[in-house]
Structures are given as C-alpha cells and as structure tokens.
Amino acid sequence: MEQKYDIAQVLAWYIDSGVDTTCGDVCCLKNQNTPTPKPEMPSIKNRPAVTNLSQTTNEACKNARDLCLKANSLSELRSMVENFEGCSLKLTAKSTVFGAGNEQADIMLIGEAPGADEDRLGSPFVGKSGHLLDKILNCISVKREDVYITNILPWRPPGNRTPTDAEIAVCLPFLRRQIELVKPKILLLLGASAANAVLDNNEPISRLRGRWLEYTTSSKETILTLATFHPAFLLRNSAQKAKTWADFLRVLKKLKEN
C-alpha cells in the first residue's frame, strides 16, 4: 500500500533535523562539523622554467646572422625576415615592413622603425613622416623611386615606443645584409636610433649630423655615411628643417662628386 506524505510536515521535520538544502543525494546538516579541505599546494615540477632572456637574445641574433648568410637577393632576405620568429615585436605588429625602392640605388635611407601607418600598409615611410621625406627629396630633385628606404626594425614597437637594445641587436643583421645587397654609394641615417645602431655608438644626433662618416661592411668595404634628423622630429621641431635641408644638399653634392 502506497503511503502519502504531508509535504509541509516533511519539510518541517527536515528543518528541525538541521537540513538546510534540498539539493544533492546527501543531507547537509547545519550542526554537522564538516572538515575544511586543505588547499592543494602546486607541485614544484609543474612550475614553468625561468627563461634566460640574454641567452634567448644571443641565440636569436645568431639565427639572424646565419640566415642572412644564405640570402643572395633582397627578395630572399625579405622572405627570411617575414618567416623569422626570433623577435617578439613580430607578435604585436600587423605587418613586416621590409625595405622598398630602387634595389640598385646610390642613396640608401635608414630610419628607426615602422609607425602606425607603416604597420597598417606594410611599407616604410608612408605616414606624415614619409610625406615630409618625399617633399625634402623632391626639393633636391630626387624621387622616392630613385632611392632605397628601410628601417633598422621591420616591425613596429607597441605604441611607437623606443625599441630596446635587444630588439635592435636581433634585427640588425637583416639591415646590414640589406646594405650589402643594395651596395649604395651613400647611407643617409635618419635619427639618433638609426645612426647609433648602424655606426655602433651612442653620440647624440646633434653631434653626429652634418659631418661625413664611414660605414664598414662585413667584407671590409666602406660606404660614405651621413646622419641627420628624422622627419618625425622635424614635424615637432620645424626650426631644425634648415639643418636637415643642408644635410640633404651635402648628400646630393657628394653624389655628384663621385
């Protein structure tokens, strides 16, 4: 015979007995002392290994140098840079911005790093700085198509921050190989970062600009080199445009002499 229960009486009995939930297969009693589980301590063997940053940078630099030795053309070098995984900047950049222009140019211009516009379009000097550079070149009767333009870094640093020494060191072999493949008569370094990286010094651009220097390739060939202000700097400091104009005229004069 089936028994019928008064639901209200059953619930009242549960409450009197200390039951505080109707969920689950096991009764939970208010007065029952349930031991608090001890927190599980993470196993030491599961902790990630600490990466030696300097060692990683050194390995990346070596990998970059080894790759560059295999590049016999700018197109081969471009492909190597696009597939290179040794620089963290590539993870945050939208594009790999390789050099562009005349691959047999007499003049090679080198800037610091791609900006937001360059990163978006994948070409060097296409933003406001690039437009100013085009105007300066036009004033000395030189077209962008006549020169080769690149940067010391092929990837944009997040927020246009200044690149670190490690980032520059990893990318520098690719730049040096570009110089060797283009074989320009004159290098024009735009800004302190480019000048310091290429010439391997820490002098301020105000002291470097305006005087002829020399860059030595891995094959011991020397290239006439001149440093000047970066177009981005000129957009903020128009008073320095006259000095930059004079530097570009020096390049044109030297090119005609040679």
pTM of the model: 0.78
Q: In sequence order, what are the residues at sequence separation of 6 or more whose Cβ sits closer than 8 angstroms to the Cβ of residue 182?
A: 74, 99, 103, 104, 105, 108, 148
Checking if the pLDDT of 205 tops 60, the result is yes
- Residue 106: alpha-carbon gap to chain centroid: 27
**Rounded CA separation 228/67 (Å):** 31
H helix or E strand, kind and range, residue 226: strand 222-228
At 187, phi and psi to the nearest 5? -105, 130
Amino acid (one-letter) located at 195: A
User: Is 208:195 a contact under the CB 8 Å cutoff?
Assistant: yes
**Rounded CA separation 132/143 (Å):** 13
Beta strands in 64-121 (DSSP E): 100-101, 107-111
Checking if the pLDDT of 35 tops 90, the result is no
**What pLDDT does 13 receive?**
53
H helix or E strand, kind and range, residue 150: strand 148-151
> What is the average pLDDT across 77-95?
96
Express each pLDDT in 206-251 by its tens digit.
Answer: 999 999 999 999 999 999 999 999 999 999 999 999 999 999 999 9
Dig out the tokens for 86 from the structure: 């040794």
User: Is 123:145 a contact under the CB 8 Å cutoff?
Assistant: no
**What pLDDT does 258 receive?**
78
> What is the average pLDDT across 48-54?
44
Dig out the tokens for 137 from the structure: 């070149």
**Rounded CA separation 152/192 (Å):** 11
Quickly count: other Cβ atoms within 10 Å of residue 132's Cβ. 18
Express each pLDDT in 100-158 by its tens digit.
Answer: 999 999 999 999 999 999 999 999 999 999 999 999 999 899 999 999 999 999 999 99
Q: Which domains does the chain have, with CATH numbers?
A: 53-257 (3.40.470.10)
- With CA atoms as reference, report the closest residue to 57 among 87, 90, 80, 84: 87
pLDDT-derived band at 186 (thresholds 50, 70, 90) equals: very high
